[in-house]
Structure 1
Amino acid sequence: MSITNQSSVSEFLLLGLAEQPQQQQLLFLLFLSMYLATVLGNLLIILAISMDAHLHNPMYFFLSNLSFVDICFTSTTIPKMLVNHILGSQTISFLGCFTQMYFLFTFANMDNFLLAVMAYDRFVAVCHPLHYTTKMTHQFCALLVVGSWVVANLNVLLHILLMTRLSFCADNRISHYFCDATPLLKLSCSDTHLNEMMIHTEGALIMITPFVCILVSYIYITSAVLRVPSTQGKWKAFSTCGSHLVVVALFYGTIIAVYFNPSSSNLGETDPAATVLYTVVTPMLNPFIYSLRNKDLKRALRKVIGRKKFST
């Protein structure tokens, strides 16, 4: 089925975040630097975990998957923006726009699910430490990740198929640097009621359910930690969850700022600054957040960097 036959628009214009050439040059250098930092930081996390046998446990298995997803997440938007700037173009094909949306939202869903899975892992580690190895087996961890991929893809496929029903007849300008569902719905000359209803029901449920699971997990974790008699024991228990909590706050904080901002008067309005935080800054910061206070991960990273220096 050719989705371009249903619309008179064959391509979209990504207007970006700035109109002045000087601002565009500055944004190009900024986004290039952040993208390289994101890829390098997350690759180092993956290498460190894969090369250190002490890190072959569920917590770091989920972290390496999160790093992989973050690399893919940023790679769906930033390279296209950088290439367009180099070529002096603002266009993206109709099919390319839908493809970009598909992968963007799939990886966003995976971030969402992995954060929930990591919260469950911390819940079992803190609340049921004696049963941790029997509950968090390699097979069960792999099943959680595979299940997350399946649900993420099916959810996004539903919304993309619904959007292929729409027609785009006149304006093709997207006031952003990537294709997002809400600006596209605003451009459509078809009835978008079904799409909006599915975004506000099924789509919202997919985002909210993992967040609720994270909240419930940390309620139980907090309750268990408060029962620990020693202050040192409480600090040790909380320290294993600190990095994850920071990432959760950053991820969901930017999601709320982008898609649930009460100041937006309609579905098609999003805050560009908050979107940059959500799509670029958060994936870049995740490796630094997880490695900053994690002694085991820092030791593994030093080994990886040391080997690279030695081989050079």
Structure 2
Amino acid sequence: MSFPMYNGVELVDFEVEALTKLEQVLGEPLPEVRRCDGGNFGFKPLNFTVDGLAVNYKDIKTLPSELRDLHTITNLYLNFNQLTDVTEFFDGLFVVKHIEMISNKLSSLPSNIKDMHELKRLEIDYNQITSLPSEIGKLAKLRYLDAGHNKLELLPTAMSELHCLESLLLSNNRFQSFPTQVLKLASLKNLDLAENNIQSIPEDIGGMQSLESLNLAGNMIEKLPRSMLSIPLQFLTISGNQISESDEVVMKFKKRGCKIGKGSNTQYVEKNEEKYQDLREERENFFRGLWE
């Protein structure tokens, strides 16, 4: 059995059509790549279908609706573009596991994100997102969510249903208070709330028994609740608040070996490939590297 070709690669016919439409938007063909990531350009084929798609640094504003026919994509990278809406494209992404849409112009996520039952990692930082859809609570396998550097003020109640979530990055948003939805995230290990306008931490935070890293830098917090001492924290960042260096809770964390951070590690990253790697390292290392 033979298949039609796209740029020298055999693919099923409707996926050839989808990539051809994308090529028309881009003004250039997509090359075959061995591996898709957040800094390259091309598609990765697998068994006559598209397994990965990377369209980074192309300044595209729209995606052709035919891309929703790429049902087999597991890894998708659309970083550093000008995208404002991905609703139609998301209609067909049923097996995707990893999505990056860093530094676009998204103001929201579509409700059909709920159909991405295999999604484990979602990176939507450096956009203009004002709210997350309640449907995000349907992402039962989601482990990593980076929504930093947006315009979020609240989290949907359904966020508390993300029982597999291990890392939640919400730095540089507009939270006026601690988002209590995170208190029910039993698997959460890493929480970044740096550079918001949070004034206090709820006593209930003591119930977050999986939490290992907490970044509260650059807020308006005056005191940490004693209940925090029941958390097995290994890393804590509190600089840029109004917390005394002799704060009882801070001192006790130090005595038990918890590393107290010196900075928020959330500086803006310019739009180019070298800086993308810096951003990648920042997210992967999370708080590490700025400790006393």
Q: Which has the higher helix share?
A: 1
TM bracket, shorter-chain basis: under 0.3
Q: Which has the higher strand share?
A: 2
Query: What TM-score do the two structures reach when normalised by structure 1?
Result: 0.26
- The structure with higher relative contact order (CA 8 Å, sep 6+) is 1
Query: What TM-score do the two structures reach when normalised by structure 2?
Result: 0.27
